[in-house]
Amino acid sequence: MICRHFSSCGGCSYQDLPDDAYLALKRQTVVQVLKRFEISTELAAIVAVPPATRRRATMKATLKDGIVLLGFHAARSHDIVDLEECLVLRPALTAILPGLRAMLAEMLAPEGDAELRLTESQSGIELALRWSKPNDTTTIAALARWAGKLGLLRITARGLVVVTLGESKVRLGKALVTLPPEAFLQPTAEGEKVLQDFVTQTLKGAKRVADLFCGCGTFTFPLAEKARVHAVELDVPMLEAVSAAAKTTPGLKPITTDKRNLFKRPLSAFELKDFDGVCLDPPRAGALEQAKVLAASKIARIAYVSCDAESFARDARILLDGGYRLTQLVPVDQFLWSSHIELAGAFMR
């Protein structure tokens, strides 16, 4: 089945390819990057998530001449493709679009633009808005009315929470974590589970693990079922979410947290000496400075999760030159029909 917006929407480039050709193309993308960095390893079969599983999306909206366009940008354009369906998103995220159009028709009048960030957690949908409207009492009252009408848990506008009707929660391992506004969440729960299993298996037997770029604890909590975990993250609300969930979740080893910019101040060799395992899940930029320190460390095993093949290969090359072996590399396709691919690598001393 091909989406009615295919060829106009910039979100999916390869939806018209047969499955085998599509997966071969994604695999070849990874192979070429690894070759460029002179990395020779066995690449596992791609693990692809099912359609209609993506639980977060960033959309653009514009109101002109009384008509709201809401959706993704067209391919290589700033034009907005007015979304009627999406085979990637969870059904609840597409089902709410007509209601959001009605809200925007009222609130953007007579004309205006907005960016909408939608996240569906286990407890419902929350919305973050980027627009020019001030957070005055009139705007907040209108948003509260629309939140009730659309069943939204929370609305954030211009970076501030303006409406809260419920808590956004997600289960990570044994922990039920209350998400802060606009928190990072893996694109799909299905892909998240694959990555969690990979990380816990890679670090099996480790007694003390450093979870770097930990976010809200995607890997912290599964790891803490067997090991003491030190969770490091720059975003304070996400760290606080980890700490709060750790205090209320039984059956876990101790979890400590540390607010730190790992790009500028990676864990030092001295700080790493007490750990026998490290988990890395950096943003697209990778973890260059931390990789340099790890390459010179005595850490026995590293689980590296990356959403960018280029930065992964760059950092992997550093670890390999430092004496690690890349013993397993699994591509996880959480970005269906796009050029992006997630990688999970296991590095052993």
Residues 141, 130: contact at Cβ < 8 Å?
no
pLDDT class for 161, splitting at 50, 70, 90?
A: very high
- Global confidence as pTM: 0.95
Up-side HSE of residue 305: CA atoms within 13 Å toward CB? 27
Please give the DSSP secondary-structure letter assigned to residue 113: E
Boundary residue ending a domain (117, 143, 169): 169
Residues 6+ apart with CB under 8 A from 136: none
Q: Looking at the domain assignment, is residue 9 inside a domain?
A: no
Q: Looking at the domain assignment, is residue 305 inside a domain?
A: yes
Sheet hosting strand 228-233, strand order edge to edge: 47-48, 325-333, 342-348, 301-306, 277-280, 208-212, 228-233, 255-259
List active site positions.
307
Q: Which CATH number do you get for residue 133?
A: 2.40.50.1070
pLDDT class for 280, splitting at 50, 70, 90?
A: very high
Q: What is the pLDDT of residues 309-339, one digit of tens each?
A: 999 999 999 999 999 999 999 999 999 999 8
Q: What is the pLDDT of residues 170-212, one digit of tens each?
A: 999 999 999 999 999 999 999 999 999 999 999 999 999 999 9
Residues 280, 287: contact at Cβ < 8 Å?
yes
151 and 192 inside one domain: no
Number of domains in the chain: 2
Find the mean pLDDT for residues 291-316: 97
114 and 239 inside one domain: no
Q: Which CATH number do you get for residue 325?
A: 3.40.50.150
Boundary residue ending a domain (139, 169, 199): 169
Token pair of 305, please? 């999760």
pLDDT class for 15, splitting at 50, 70, 90?
A: very high
194 and 329 inside one domain: yes
Q: Looking at the domain assignment, is residue 12 inside a domain?
A: no
Burial zone of 51 (CB within 10 Å; 0-12 exposed, 13-18 middle, 19+ buried): middle
Q: Which domain covers residue 125, as residue numbers?
A: 56-169
287 and 331 inside one domain: yes
Question: Quick check: helix, strand or coil at residue 299?
Answer: coil
Share of the chain above pLDDT 70, in %: 100
Q: Looking at the domain assignment, is residue 62 inside a domain?
A: yes
Q: Looking at the domain assignment, is residue 175 inside a domain?
A: no
Boundary residue ending a domain (169, 204, 219): 169
pLDDT class for 50, splitting at 50, 70, 90?
A: very high
